[in-house]
Amino acid sequence: METILNVFFSRIARTETLQRGTIVDEHNKKLSANFSKVFKQKVHNESEVSISYAIDTLSKSRAKDLGKKEDDEDIGEEFIFFSVQTSDGEPLPLRLRSKGLIWFLSFWLVLESMKDQNRVILIDEPDNSLHVNAQSDLLNVLDEIAQTYGHQIIYATHSPFLIPTEKLHRIKLVYNDKKDGVNISEISSGKIDTKSKRDALLPVSHAIGCSVSKHNTIFTDRNIIVEGLSDMFAYQTMGRILKEDEYHYLPGIGTISDKLNPLIGMCIGYGLNWCLVMDSDEKSDEKNSSTKNKYELIKEQVFGGNEEDTKKQVYILEGIKNLEDMFSVDDIEKIASKTGFTLPPQKPKNKDNTSYIGKKNKIIFWKMFASANFKATDFSDTTKSNFKKVFGFIQSALADE
């Protein structure tokens, strides 16, 4: 605390009582204000928690309260007494406060005292004595201190409340393998194929709101995340026509905001193989929904900014702004003719199959396509080549390691 306040308590103890009181009051206000910024929990239903210290002589009665004997050699000596008080003004010794508050305060004081020094800080199970809400406060404290002062903070935890779900690239799985001993692996890569790995993944699964179930019917071992139902119908059907491997498609990525996409998060939480296929539409009408923004958010939030790892699992249809443009105009007309879908009498001057089909009719069009019988020879080489590129990426991304 001397380091935090930049003082020597021994010097304060030698000052006159009145002056000492003024100095100590100023220090207590500073401590309380700083602590209140990071600790948001209520103590005895009070949200305003004051941290205070006092320099005083150890009396016999206070010695007894501290568990000391009446003839203890420290009686009569000056001591520093710490307490926590709420807005009713009642101070209580720290030892009478909750273990969580004591731990949080102690930890905060340690971090504050060395905030100006670049350190590697190792913490083991910081959640042991903390209420779940206090764990969220701690997560914010760690993040703020690391960013502000350049510390590298590493902590081990089993608590889902200390998992930063919006920054999964920061998380490493630590598991004990009978053959290889203790291992550390990235959460966004590698197969979760052993019990020890699944156990290590549990806190992450709980943090993102899912459970690891072998009987889950929404996800499978190999998942392809696409942007919507239209994409799902088209890829499923073309995969069948071109006799590609069967994969499980998850529609719905659509627009990504500043949150981690839940489908990606759930695949990671389940420990499943996954990849993502997106078109290259850069003229989206919605803020932050262009392919570039989506890609950059995923790269940062899932892969920690690693371009190489991102490209292994995220595929952009270069030069193809919408799924519909994977097909030639002639092929779109063949599909419409065979399925009975009515296209407008005049096609767009420039290739724009989405407008040709009609944005509001896309799902109906592709659903009708999925229900019809087509052969590979029904489609142009350009269309087949476009899809084979995508299926080649998928095969590589979901290949067994």
Residue 162: which residues within 8 A CB-CB, separation 6 or more? 126, 127, 135, 138, 139, 155, 203
For residue 391, give its domain range: 222-397
Q: Which residue has the higher pLDDT, 259 or 387?
A: 387
Mean pLDDT of 318-338: 93
Residue 34 placed within a domain: yes
Residue 187 placed within a domain: no
Say yes or no: 86 and 113 in one domain. no
Going by C-alpha positions, the residue among 13, 100, 106, 124 that lies closest to residue 51 is 106
- The band of 208, judged by pLDDT with boundaries at 50, 70 and 90, is low
Check: CB of residue 195 under 8 Å from CB of residue 175.
no
Q: What is the pLDDT of residues 151-167, one digit of tens each?
A: 888 999 888 888 887 67
- Cα 141 to Cα 145: distance, rounded to the nearest angstrom: 6
DSSP-assigned letter for residue 244? P
Mean pLDDT of 232-236: 93
Q: How many CB atoms lie within 10 A of CB 280?
A: 16
Mean pLDDT of 36-58: 64
Count of CA atoms in the C-beta half-sphere (13 A) of 287: 2
Say yes or no: 141 and 265 in one domain. no
Say yes or no: 81 and 120 in one domain. no
Residue 182 placed within a domain: no
Q: What is the pLDDT of residues 292-310, one digit of tens each?
A: 888 898 898 888 889 999 9
Residue 145 placed within a domain: yes
**End-of-domain residue from the set 63, 78, 97:** 97
- Cα 102 to Cα 333: distance, rounded to the nearest angstrom: 72
Residue at 382: amino acid letter: T
Q: List the Cα angle 84/87/91 in 5-degree steps.
A: 30
Q: What is the pLDDT of residues 89-147, one digit of tens each?
A: 667 777 777 777 787 778 778 877 877 777 888 988 887 767 777 787 788 878 877 87
Say yes or no: 39 and 133 in one domain. no
Say yes or no: 376 and 237 in one domain. yes
Joined together, the tokens standing for residue 68 give 């000391």
Is the model's pLDDT at 382 over the cut of 90? yes
Is the model's pLDDT at 23 over the cut of 60? yes
Say yes or no: 151 and 21 in one domain. no
Say yes or no: 290 and 227 in one domain. yes
Say yes or no: 7 and 57 in one domain. yes
Q: What is the pLDDT of residues 345-366, one digit of tens each?
A: 888 888 899 999 998 899 899 9
Domains held by the chain: number: 3
Q: Is 353 exposed, middle or buried (0-12, 13-18, 19+ CB in 10 A)?
A: buried
Residue 173 placed within a domain: no
**End-of-domain residue from the set 50, 69, 97:** 97
The residue count for the chain: 401
Coil/strand/helix, residue 338: helix
Phi, then psi, of 372 in degrees rounded to 5: -95, 170
- Cα 151 to Cα 144: distance, rounded to the nearest angstrom: 10
Q: Kindly tell me the number of DSSP H helices and DSSP E strands found in the chain.
A: 15, 11
**Helix, strand, coil: what percent of the chain each, to 5?**
45, 15, 35
What integer best gives the mean pLDDT of the chain? 79
Residue 168 placed within a domain: no
DSSP-assigned letter for residue 248? E
**End-of-domain residue from the set 79, 97, 115:** 97
Say yes or no: 232 and 381 in one domain. yes
